[in-house]
Structures are given as structure tokens and as C-alpha cells.
Amino acid sequence: MVDASVNLLPANVRAMLESLRERAISTDFAARLLGNTTPPARRLRPRQTTDAESVAGFWARLREDGCADDAVQAELADAAAIERAEVYGANIENYIGTVKIPVGLIGPLRVNGLNAAGDYFVPMATSEAALVASYGRGAELVSAAGGVTAAVVQEGVLRTPAFVFDNMLTCGLFVNWVADNTDALKAAAETTTRYGKLISIEPFMDVNVVFLLCRYSTGDAAGQNMVTVATEAMCRYIVENMPVPAVHWFIEANFSGDKKASYLGLQTGRGRKVTASVTVPYDLLRKYLRADPQKMLAYGQVAGLGAVLSGQLGAQAHYANGLAAVYLATGQDAACVSESAVGFTRMEPRDNALFFSVTMPNILVGSVGGGTGLPSQSAALSIMGLKGAGKAAALAEVTAAVCLCGEISIIAAIASGHFTRAHQKLARFR
């Protein structure tokens, strides 16, 4: 007799359980699940310096282990990668070469920003065919409509240390001490940086644990490392001077939203909060996108419902595509796409035109520091005219404008029934 409860399981779950049951019969599979404590023949020895000799050493090891041959080595460790080994080595450990990602160009994209003003050619690094074409047609449209209005409206990178105490009373005394000593804490943090400024400290208390939400301005750097070092110095000052002992303290307590999509980031921002908008007449939508404005509005209603029902943080189509491509091309921390890709896209009818906007609270970009000094990434920033000091806010506004172009393009493509055909033409059957 078949157990009726089994039939209540979805077909895919039943198939997975059957596969596991079949594999569990295998003696080899059962043994593997117990683990293998035999150590590898020889561990990989990290290198303190990066030069041609250290690169050769890693490739020799890969060859010994049967993981590489001449063709594999040539792809990752070409002449340019070897010649610039010390340059790349400043941004990575155990350097063995470089990965080549195709870089496409969109533009000129007109941005009428608080900080960015002009027509920009934007390099985008991606392996996804059709992506650059989509953003490119969005850029052509918005530029024909007069350009994107954009502004950085808020700035601040969070780091959130936590202090654990024995009880609530001690915790409360600590919060009072922090409130009375903010000037000293600010001074301690800012001893580590010429450009970073501690602009707020907000205690958040949970019984016997206090999180300190420390927000920094970071000049023209994205600032992740900057705020970590500054917060470490501040916490050392706290530990040496606070009137009550802590059981534990931690430099980051997973409250800041660092490289994670979070409600805190959505509401208060982490990095640069940018809002960007454009109003596009109906005739331009038909001319450049071959789209029916009414169908775009109808799709927008359904997509908004889908965002709510699925529990999105915000409501938008695909910020991550544009962000990842711009971040990779310009030397930003690609992992920050996870938190940057939240926000809100709006679309409204206005006098024979559609108004489009994006509000993105967590754009983490810099025009100096990090990967911006790498050869290719530095060149990409130079193409945009956004390399070096004084350019980070403009870069954030251009990044938001790029995402707006992508939102308009994909909305039009799906509403008009062009989405699948475009991907077949430019990707699958190209």
C-alpha cells in the first residue's frame, strides 16, 4: 500500500528524495558523507610578495597537481598579467593572473545632475549578451528626451560594532556614557583617516547588547576599509575608557547591511543615496523603443504587484545588471551589488509622456581607492571623465542614471513582447 502522505509532496521534492535514496545505497557515497581526514599531499603556501617569480611558483604547483597546462596558464597569466604582477598584487593575494571580461560601451548618456553634468560614455563589463544593447537603447532614449536629472541626496557608510554586557542596567549606563562622550569617540575614529568623518553615532539597545550605528562620510572613496579601521580605533578608545566592563565586543555585528540587502539600508541608506528621473514623451517611446505607453503602464501595475507579493526590498526590475557591469568595469567592490541593488522604480503618466524614476539608497562607489587604480578600471573611469578626487558623487549619479536606462528598456521590452526575441537574437542564437 502506498503511503498517502508521499503523494502530498510536490513532484520535484519526490524526485529529489528518490535520487537521494538511490545514491544512499552506494557504499562510496555513504563513505564520502563521513568525510575524509587524510590531509592533502602539500598545502598551498601563500606568498607575501607578488612578482613574476611568485606567479610562476603557483603555476608550477597547479601543473604538479594536474590542474593546468600551457593553454590554461596562457589564458590567465598572459604577458600583460605577468608584466603588471606587482600592480595587481596590491589588490589580491596569491595572484596567478587576470580574468578577461568583455567590456561594452553605452552612450552618450546625458546626465543633468547635482554633481554629474554632461554626456557620458559608460563602459560596462559583462558576459551577458543583450545587456549592453538594452542599456544602450535606454541611454539613447533618455538623452533624446533631454537627459536624466539626478542627485545624491544622502551620504554615509555604516559600520556597526556591538558591546555585550552582563545585564540591562550596565547596558544602559554604557549608552549614557556614549551619549556624553561623542566628541571623544569622533576624534578617536578620525585619527585614522584624512578624508573620513564620523557624522553620527546611534546606539541601538537590545536588553544587554548595544549596537552602535556609526555613519561616516568617506570623501571620494567607497570607504568600506576606511570605516572599518576608523571604527576599530573608536572601539579601542571605548574599551580603554568606558566606566563599565563589557563581556564581549565586536567590530561589526551584522547590523550595518554590509554586502547584504536589508531594511535598514533601504530606509536609511548605506553609501550614497541617489534619486534620478526623466520624463519621456509618448512619441519618443514609440520611436526609440517601439513600445505602447499604455501597455508599459499596464505592465508596471502587474510588476508592482509582483514585487509586493514576492517580498522584494523595494520594487524594481533589475538594478543588479547595470550595477554589476559598471562596478566591474570601474573597479568597485562587486560584492556590494548585493546591497546596492535595492530601491524603487516609479512610472507615471504625465501629459502625453511617461515619468520614470529610480531611488537607490545604497550606491557604494568611489573614484579613488580600492580597485579604481587597476589599469583597466582606471582606463574605464578615464573614459567617463570620473577618475580621481572630486568625482565620486558624480559617479554615483551616473550609475543611477544607467540603472534608470535599464529599467525603462526592460519595461518596454516585456510590455511590447520583445524581451524573449531580443535575447534569442543577441544571446542564444547569435
The reported pLDDT for the residue numbered 88 is 94
Query: Shortest CA distance to 319 belongs to which of 261, 406, 258?
Result: 406
Torsion sign across C-alpha atoms 188, 192, 198, 204:
negative
List the beta strands (DSSP E) in 168-319: 197-206, 209-217, 248-250, 271-281, 314-315
Please report, for the chain, the start and end positions of each structural domain, with discontinuous segments joined by +: 52-89, 103-153+272-428, 161-250
Which strand (E) or helix (H) includes residue 360?
strand 353-363
- Backbone dihedral region for residue 365 (phi beyond 0: left; psi -120 to 50: alpha; all else: beta): beta
Q: What percent of the chain has pLDDT over 70?
A: 95
pLDDT in tens, 364-413: 999 999 999 999 999 999 999 999 999 999 999 999 999 999 999 999 99
pLDDT in tens, 303-348: 999 999 999 999 999 999 999 999 999 999 999 999 999 999 999 9
The Cα-based distances of 342 to 42, 176, 267, 317, 392 in angstroms read 44, 34, 10, 10, 20
Active site residues: 128, 259, 333, 423
pLDDT interval class at 209 (50, 70, 90): very high
> Bigger pLDDT: 10 or 373?
373
The reported pLDDT for the residue numbered 422 is 62
Matching CATH number, 103-153+272-428, of 3.10.129.10, 1.10.287.3510, 3.90.770.10, 3.60.20.10: 3.90.770.10
Matching CATH number, 161-250, of 3.40.190.10, 3.90.1260.10, 3.90.550.10, 3.30.70.420: 3.30.70.420
The reported pLDDT for the residue numbered 236 is 98
